[in-house]
A and B are shown apart, each in its own frame.
Chain A
Amino acid sequence: MVRFENVGMRYGSGPEVLRDVNFVLEPGSFTFLTGLSGAGKTTLLKLIYLAEPPSRGLITLFEYDLAVAKRSDFPALRRRIGVVFQDFRLLDHLSVFDNVALPLKIAGSRTADFTEDVRELLGWVGLGDRLQAKPPTLSGGEQQRVAIARAVVARPDLLIADEPTGNVDPEIGTRILRLFNELNRFGTTVLIATHDRALVESTEADEMRLVEGRLVQLRKGRRPA
C-alpha cells in the first residue's frame, strides 16, 4: 500500500525533518504513528497524501513509484486517500453536510446518490442534528468530527488522520476509534498520527515511532478487533 525507502525531507535549505525513513504499510493494516510534537509526524503524513515531494528517497503508493508517476495520475491517487487534517481545514462557507459531501462531489457523484449516506454518517458521529450548521458555529470537537466524516465518507483505500482525537472527549474519541476500526475491517488501511498514549495502548495495532525525524521503533501488534 505504502512503501518508504531511505526517504529524507527538508523544507527549502533548512535542516532535514525526516531522515532515512523506511517502512511499509501493508494493505488492510492499522498503524499508529507516534512521537513528540516536532518529531516529523505531520511531514511524514504530508508525503503520503501527496502534499509535498520528498527531498530524497523513494515512495511507492498504491504500487505507483511516485518518482516516475505522472502528475496527471496524482488526483486519482489522492481520491483514494482520506485525510483528517490536524487543523481540520473545513470550508467555513459550506454547511456541515456540504463539507462532508465534498469528496463525493469531487469524485463526480450526484447529490441525490449520496444524501442518505452523508446523513447516516453524520448521525453516526453525533452530528445528525447539525447538517445545516456552518463550521464557525461548531465547537472544536464537532469540527473535528466533521473533518473525520469528510475523510471517511468516500470509503478511501487509505485513511490518514493527524491527531484525530485531540479535541474530543474520551467517549467521542472511543467512538471515532471504533469508526476507524470498522473502516479497517472493511479493508481500509489506517494510519493515525497521535501523541495520545492512551489511544495507542487501547488497541494492539502496529506502531511506528518518530524521534527527531528518524523512525526508531516499530511495534508489530495485532490488528484491532
Chain B
Amino acid sequence: MIDNHPIMPPAEGTKPLDLMIAVMALLAGLALGASLIADRVATNWQSGLSGKLTVQILPPAQGTADDGLKLETEAALKVLRATPGIARARALSMREQASLVSPWLGQDDIAAELPLPQLIDADVVPGKSVDTAELKRRLKAVVPDALLDDHAGWMERLRDVTGGVIWSAYGILLLIAVATAAAVSFATKARLDAHRDMVELLHLMGAQSAFIARIFEWQYARAAALAAAAGTLAAALFFIAIGGMDSVGIEAVPFLPPLGLSPVDFMFFPAIPLSAGLIGLVTARLSVWSAVSKIY
C-alpha cells in the first residue's frame, strides 16, 4: 500500500497559537453578544416610551377632600379621550403606582400612605401625532394642576445614551474583531515560518506559488476556524447560561434588562469561525506569495 498522505506536515507545536485564536474568538463572541443585547435593550426602551403620554395630577393639599382628585382625574380623562390621536387613556390604580415607586421605597405599604399624584397613561394612535401644546392648554383649563409629559426630553436623552451604548458596543466588537484577525494572521504566519524550508524547496523544484499556497492554506484555514469555533462555542454557552438566569429570577432585578440572546441572535455567531478560517486562508496565501517572492 502506497503512502499517499498530503504534502503538508502535521501541525506540531501549534497548541499555543490555537489557544490564542480560541481566546480571541471567545472575546469576539462576548462582544458580539453584548452588542446584540445593548441594541435590543435600547430598542426596547425607546419603543416602550414612544407613543405614550403621561398626565400627572397633583394630590390635594392636606385636609382637602379626596374627591377632588377623583373629579379632576375624570375631567382629565374626558379631555384626553376627546383629543384626536389618543387611542386610549387610563388612570393607574394605587397598586400600580405603588409598584412604580417600589424600587426606591420597597414593597411595604409606605407608598399607600404617601400623597402620590394620580397618573394617567395615554396611548397615541400609531402613526398619529398629538398637538401637545393644545392638549396642555385644554387640560389646564379643566385641571389647573395637571402636568402633561410627552417624554420628549427623556426620549431625547435616552436616544443619546442608547446611541452611545450601541456605538460603544459595536466599537468594542470592531476592535476585538481586528485583534482576532491579527491573532489569526500572526498564528498563520508563525506556522508558515516553521515550514519556510519546505516552501523554499517546493519553489526550487518548480512549484508555482498557487500550488504551494494550496498545500498550506486549507490546513491553516481549518485550524483557525476550529480554534475560533471552540472560543465562539464557549461564548455562546455563556449567553445561554445567562439566558437561563433570566428565568430563575434575574429579570426581577429592577432596571436590569433580560441578558439572554434570541435564537436569531445566535445565528450571527458562526460568522466568527468562518471569518477566522477565511483570514487564515487569505493570510496563508499572501504569506506564501510573499515568502516565495523573496526567494528569487
Contact of B202 among A52, A53, A80, A106 (CB under 8 A): A106
B 38-74 binary contact with A (CB < 8 Å = 1; else 0): 0000000000000000000000000000000000000
A 77-99 binary contact with B (CB < 8 Å = 1; else 0): 11111010000010111110110
Contact of A78 among B3, B7, B206, B211 (CB under 8 A): B206
- Any A CB within 8 A of the CB of B296: yes
Give the residues from 1 to 46 in chain B that come closer than 8 angstroms, CB to CB, to chain A. 2-5, 7, 9-10
- Any B CB within 8 A of the CB of A139: no
Cβ contact within 8 Å between A75 and B3: no
Total interface residues on A, CB under 8 Å, equals 30
- Any A CB within 8 A of the CB of B112: no
Contact of A75 among B4, B197, B207 (CB under 8 A): B207
Q: How far is the CA of A132 from the CA of B1 in the complex (A)?
A: 9
Contact of B205 among A103, A111, A131 (CB under 8 A): A103
Interface size class, chain B: 20 to 34
Question: How near does chain A come to B216, taking the closest CB pair, in angstroms?
Answer: 13
Known contacts being A76-B206, A78-B205, A83-B204, is A91 close to B198, with CB within 8 Å? Answer: yes
Contact of A93 among B4, B9, B203 (CB under 8 A): B9
Cβ contact within 8 Å between A79 and B2: no
Cβ contact within 8 Å between A91 and B296: no
Contact of A94 among B7, B295, B296 (CB under 8 A): B7
Q: How far is the CA of A79 from the CA of B205 in the complex (A)?
A: 6
Residues of A within 8 Å of B296, CB to CB, are 50-53
Cβ contact within 8 Å between B207 and A91: no
Q: How far is the CA of A159 from the CA of B208 in the complex (A)?
A: 20
Cβ contact within 8 Å between B2 and A111: yes
- Any B CB within 8 A of the CB of A217: no
Number of A-B residue pairs at CB separation under 8 A: 59
Give the residues from 281 to 296 in chain B that come closer than 8 angstroms, CB to CB, to chain A. 295-296
Give the residues from 9 to 68 in chain A that come closer than 8 angstroms, CB to CB, to chain B. 49-53
Cβ contact within 8 Å between B3 and A50: no
Known contacts being A50-B296, A52-B296, A95-B3, is A89 close to B201, with CB within 8 Å? Answer: yes
Cβ contact within 8 Å between B2 and A105: no
Give the residues from 172 to 203 in chain B that come closer than 8 angstroms, CB to CB, to chain A. 197-198, 201-203
Residue of A89, A103, A106 with most partner-chain B CB within 10 A: A106
Residue of B2, B9, B207 with most partner-chain A CB within 10 A: B2
- Any B CB within 8 A of the CB of A172: no
- Any B CB within 8 A of the CB of A115: yes
- Closest A residue to B293 by CB, please name it: A71
Q: How far is the CA of A136 from the CA of B288 in the complex (A)?
A: 26
Residues of B within 8 Å of A97, CB to CB, are 2-3
Give the residues from 218 to 264 in chain B that come closer than 8 angstroms, CB to CB, to chain A. none
- Any B CB within 8 A of the CB of A211: no
Residues of A within 8 Å of B208, CB to CB, are 75
Q: How far is the CA of A51 from the CA of B197 in the complex (A)?
A: 13
Q: How far is the CA of A222 from the CA of B71 in the complex (A)?
A: 128
Residues of B within 8 Å of A53, CB to CB, are 296
Residues of A within 8 Å of B202, CB to CB, are 102, 106
Cβ contact within 8 Å between A91 and B205: no
Residue of B9, B201, B206, B207 with most partner-chain A CB within 10 A: B206
Cβ contact within 8 Å between A98 and B211: no
Q: How far is the CA of A80 from the CA of B205 in the complex (A)?
A: 9
Q: How far is the CA of A106 from the CA of B7 in the complex (A)?
A: 11
Question: How near does chain B come to A122, taking the closest CB pair, in angstroms?
Answer: 11
Cβ contact within 8 Å between B207 and A131: no
A-B pairs with beta carbons under 8 Å apart, 25 shown:
A49-B204, A50-B296, A51-B295, A52-B296, A75-B206, A77-B206, A78-B203, A78-B204, A79-B205, A79-B206, A80-B206, A81-B206, A83-B204, A92-B9, A93-B9, A95-B3, A97-B2, A98-B3, A103-B205, A105-B7, A106-B206, A106-B207, A107-B206, A111-B4, A131-B3
- With A78-B205, A98-B7 given, can you name 13 additional A-B contacts, CB distance below 8 Å? A51-B204, A75-B207, A78-B204, A79-B206, A89-B201, A91-B7, A91-B9, A92-B9, A95-B3, A97-B2, A98-B4, A107-B206, A131-B2
